Amino acid sequence: MASSKVGSIGEYIREQRTRAKISLRQLADVSGISNPYLSQIERGLRKPSAEILQQIAKGLRISAEALYIQAGILEEREADTDVEAALRADLLLTERQKQVLLDIYVSFRKENEAADVLTEHQPEGKEEAG
């Protein structure tokens, strides 16, 4: 079971690197991790430590938490609930302002989920014009 998780983190890193249009060599340079080691991680041959994932996240300019979740180091939190709770607890906002912010947040989440679905169904090398 662990090997499938290792492979999935490597695939996820490769996907993020490809989306960012960064070569393996460029990621190695900015993250301070050797090119061969990064390649092994992407191919699912090596399991990166939390420290290595943090360096990769920095190089990709994504959150380390996202990589930790993919690697199974952290449990995925319900972002919706955290944001909703924070907005509802804010004493400086009116009820109307809270609802407007929640509506905007939900619309952004739906938009991003739809974009992710479109990206997943595109053939390799094809980018959405946008």
CATH number at residue 25: 1.10.260.40
Asked whether residue 51 is domain-assigned, the answer is: yes
pTM value is 0.57
Are 22 and 62 spatial neighbours (Cβ–Cβ below 8 Å)? no
Judgement on whether residues 33 and 87 belong to the same structural domain of the protein: no
Judgement on whether residues 6 and 39 belong to the same structural domain of the protein: yes
Asked whether residue 37 is domain-assigned, the answer is: yes
Asked whether residue 54 is domain-assigned, the answer is: yes
Say how many Å lie between the first and final Cα of the chain, rounded: 39
* pLDDT tens sequence across 25-52: 999 999 999 999 999 999 999 999 999 9
Domain boundaries, position 31: 2-71
Give the separation between CA 26 and CA 56, rounded to whole angstroms. Answer: 11
Judgement on whether residues 54 and 88 belong to the same structural domain of the protein: no
- Whole-number Cα distances in Å, 14 to 27, 110, 129: 10, 24, 22
Asked whether residue 130 is domain-assigned, the answer is: no
Asked whether residue 127 is domain-assigned, the answer is: no
Judgement on whether residues 16 and 43 belong to the same structural domain of the protein: yes
* pLDDT tens sequence across 60-112: 998 888 888 888 888 766 666 778 888 888 889 898 998 999 899 888 888 88
The pLDDT of residue 58 is above 90 = yes
Tokens of residue 27, six digits: 């990621």
How many CB atoms within 10 Å of residue 19? 12
